[in-house]
Chains A and B, each alone.
Chain A
Amino acid sequence: MRDFFYCLFFPHPMNNHRARVLHHKFLLSIIAVLIFSSFFFSSNLNPFADKIKAFAEVSLKQLFDLTNEKRQENKLEPLVVNEELTKAAERKAGDMVSKDYWAHNAPDGTTPWVIIKEEGYDYVYAGENLARGFNSAQDVVSAWMASPDHRSNLLSPNFKDVGFAVINGKLGGEETFLVVQELGSKSVLPASVNIISSPKQEKMTGFSLSPALNGLTLSMSSEFIILFIVLIISVLIIDMVVVRRKKIVRFTGHSMDHLTFLLLILFVVIIFDMGIIL
């Protein structure tokens, strides 16, 4: 048993001086498992589907509480959940998934303001914040707070009501969580000018070092994959050290090449797991 694990991770004459996790058969098995899992877990057969729904239910309340928490921190009146704005948010989220777009305005030019009006909310002020791909409500609100445009929506004294929608759907082939926040007020509050909060487009990408990403929550899948990549990288480092020390001559690819490439993949996994706001 000890030999088995040793041969799994360390170069040894018994494994032809190459850790078994770097052998072709092992790599091929991992690739096959990953590809199978990619299709299996994104299908209806996913045993975790119920947990995804539970996440969405928790997020709605958390989003509402966190939004009001930020407003109260800034000495603003808390927002009240409005049924019409909630319906508008749900309709907007459903529209984005069914028409496969990620924007404030639909491909046919329909603006969020039209949807809000059609749902019966006769606004004086209105605003919309969007987010996708985040793993917690805390990350969503933090990302909005870090973006000046979204922050001004969240902390605007002009808004009294709010409606949220959190749905799981496919955008551009990617399985993701969509968060829609519609804000509005029916009566004129401090300012007397009729302003519609502009949905200025903004994206948050991996290189941003804004405070929003300090508390980034990775999904369980990403944590699992990152652990796996770190394991392979560690095995490659051990391989380089042992081969150099023992001066082993063999015909294999350069471990340094694979290590560099896997580091890039590690970055990509983190980028793919980061949410985007609009």
Chain B
Amino acid sequence: MKKHFLYYLLLGSVLTFGLVLILSASPDRGLQMLFLGFLSLIYAAIGIAHHLINHDLVFKIVVEYVLIACLGIAIAFFIFKGGFGL
């Protein structure tokens, strides 16, 4: 954890900044979705770059970060579209 302190500081700052952007875009849900999409891309890029710097990047790690980013977008999109309608 200590070894990755700067990385987590960067990730935390980016995600916090993203959350503030999403909040400031209220009530425009479309714009909020767009910001979340960009934030998810940045999240995946930062995660992959960190593994690349640490020389432990393999293909399945790339897929994992992309899938988690897509999961985030899919969850938000599901709520954006009204969920189950209930």
Contacts and interface: CB of A to CB of B under 8 A. Distances in A.
6 contacts: A24-B64, A38-B81, A174-B81, A207-B23, A221-B83, A257-B68
A139 interface: no
Interface in A233-278: 251-254, 256-258, 260-262, 264-265, 267-269, 271-273, 276
A205 interface: yes
Interface of B: 1, 4, 8, 11-12, 15, 18-19, 22-23, 26-30, 32, 36, 39-40, 43, 47, 50-51, 56, 58, 60-61, 63-65, 67-72, 74-86
Contacts, number: 165
A41 B56 contact: no
B67 A28 contact: yes
Interface of A: 24, 27-28, 30-31, 34-35, 37-39, 41-42, 46, 48-49, 51-52, 102, 132, 172-176, 203, 205-207, 219-222, 224-225, 228-229, 251-254, 256-258, 260-262, 264-265, 267-269, 271-273, 276
Contact of A206 (B1, B12, B26, B85): B26
Contact of A172 (B1, B28, B36, B61): B28
B82 A41 contact: yes
B85 A41 contact: yes
A268 B23 CA distance: 9
A267 B85 CA distance: 20
A47 B82 CA distance: 14
Contacts of A260: 8, 11-12, 15
A174 B83 contact: no
Contacts of B11: 257, 260
